[in-house]
A = this chain, B = another copy of it.
Amino acid sequence: MNTEWIAVDWGTSHLRIWAMQGETAMDQAQSNSGMARLAKGGFQAALLDLIEGWLGSAPLDVMACGMVGARQGWVEAPYSAVPSTPVPTVPIRVPNTDPRIRAFVVPGLKQINPPDVMRGEETQIAGFLATRPNWDGVVCLPGTHTKWVQISAGEVVSFRTFMTGELFDLLRGQSVLKHSVGEGWDDGAFADAVSDTLSKPEQLAARLFGLRAADLLQGQDAGIARAKLSGTLIGAELAATRPYWLGQQLAIIGADEVSNIYAKALQQQGAFVETADATQTTLVGLSLARNLTRQTV
């Protein structure tokens, strides 16, 4: 295998890497050495653990995006302010690395009012737009912190972040609902919960404990409760993002399972939704970011 460069998606909890030839991944690896688990001096070692076998005598470019560019990360890559193209500036070179690598971190985006930030999603958006010239619309990137991003004329115009994924995990794993929400799923229960919360968003706070009570009093199935919890939280997110998705051209970039759940909820509201693969858009975006560094060398 002849590795040309190394692509890195370095989030809060995970590190994922790919051995690249052009825009094609030839090999991949991952670990749990996310940004939150590493001290300032630990980033390079965590990376070398995974890529030693790919390194040769000539230095390889390493292109990273995500929380690795936060203040507590490998190197701080200051946010660019929107409106802006997704990756408007040359990625930040990490100083004093092992001589076998030349490492760069893609800066995130910030929005001043209302205040909001992203790190990593800008790279996916760049990759998504690369094959869609003149695409205007809204991109939804579901995950721990779901982003809704308005795109016009190749620029990120505005965006909002929702803690829906993190709320779901906390409620399911650590609240009183952990006794009543389990494995399994029910499409009908999900759809009903989405519509109920969209039509009466002010009732959100009342619906959560109802999942516990329905188990205690009626023995509600734990998979139905899971679908209802997901539908209730996503319904609340769709209530808040209505101006983003109503009558807009929509694309979802994410992992398959969560993308499908969001697509179902949106299609149920009559929206037309395109989906794109998160890994593929990340790799194309990192490749574009690498081209920026080579133009300036």
Contact = CB atoms under 8 A, between A and B. Distances in A.
A116 B210 CA distance: 6
A133 interface: no
A157 interface: no
Interface residues of A, number: 44
**Identical subunits present:** 2
Contacts of A174: 170, 174
Contacts of A97: none
Contacts of A112: 217
B240 A204 contact: yes
A161 B213 contact: yes
Given A115-B218, A201-B201, A213-B115, A208 B176 contact: no
A166 B162 contact: no
A162 B206 contact: yes
B163 A208 contact: yes
A175 interface: yes
Interface of A: 79, 110-112, 114-117, 145, 160-164, 166-167, 170-171, 174-177, 201-206, 208-210, 212-214, 216-218, 233, 236-237, 239-242
